[in-house]
Amino acid sequence: MKAAVIQFRASTDKEENLKKIISFISKSSAKNATLCAFPEFMMFYTNSSQTPKQLASLSETIYGNFVSSVAKAAKDNRIQVVGSFYEKSRKKDRVYDTTFVIDKLGRVISTYRKIHLYDALGFRESAKMTPGSRISKPVKTSIGKIGMLICYDLRFPEISRSLAAAGSEVLVIPSAWVRGNLKEDHWITLNKTRAIENGCYVIAPDQIGHIYCGRSLVVDPYGKVLLDMKKRQGIGIVEIDLNKVRQTRKVLPLLKNRRTDIYPTLKA
C-alpha cells in the first residue's frame, strides 16, 4: 500500500493552513495513496511571543471545525489521514498536543496526546501545554497496525518499544523538529534506530521553515531510508510492504528475544 508523507511550512493562520491540508489530502488520494500523514503543529505555527492564553483560545476539541474539516476531506477523497492539532485542555491556559487517525469514511478512530513535552535545549513546552497520560493502542489501517508518538517522544525508546510489543507494524511520528547543533543527525539516527530495534516501518513527517529542520523520513524495518524529503515542501510517496516487517522480525527477532523476565530485577 502507498503512504503519502506531507512536509510543509505551517503559517500562524489556521484557516490558511486548513486550505493547504485539504489540498494535500486531495493530491495524495490522486497519487493513489491510501493514507497520508502530516507533521506536528499542522494546525498553525506558534511563535515564542504567543502567550499560553492566546494559544488556548485558538485550540479546539476533537469535534471542532479543524478536525471535522480534515475528516470531511478524508471521506470525500476516500483516504485515511494522520494529523495533529492543539486540543483544548481542562487546565487553564494549557493545551494538549494531539494526533488523530481518521479512516476513509471520515471517522476519528484513534487519538494520542503527547506525553513527553519538549522541556529541553532552551525550550519549555510545559509553559503552554499539558502532557497526555497514556500511550494509545495500535490501530488498524490500510498500511498495517500503526502506533503513534509525537516528535520529542522519539527520544524515549520505551514508548516505541511498548507500541511495537503491542503489535505496531508502523510507527507514525508527526514532528516539528527544531534546528540546532547536530539536531538533524539526532533526527535521522533516532528514526533509524526506532525502526531497527523494533523491526518496523517509521513514518516521520516533519515541519519545514520557521525554526524547524524538515527532513521528513520513512525508514524500513531493517533501517534503510526509503524517503528523505530534505528541504522541499510537498508530498512524498512510499510503498509500505508488511512482508518486510514479518521477514525482518523472523530473521532478527528482537521483540521475541527480549528477556522481560530479567529486566525488572535491576534496582537503582
The residues carrying an active-site annotation are 40, 114, 151
CB 178 within 8 A of CB 45: no
Specify which residues 201 forms β-bridges with.
170
Q: What are phi and psi of 175, to 5 degrees?
A: -140, 160
d(CA 117, CA 125): 6
The grid coordinates of residue 72 equal: 470531511
Please state at what angle helix 183-198 crosses helix 157-165, rounded to 10 degrees. 30
The grid coordinates of residue 184 equal: 538533524
d(CA 142, CA 80): 8
Q: What's the CA angle centered on 106, arms 105 and 108, to 5 degrees?
A: 115
The grid coordinates of residue 190 equal: 533516532
Beta strands per DSSP E along 27-94: 35-37, 80-88
d(CA 28, CA 34): 8
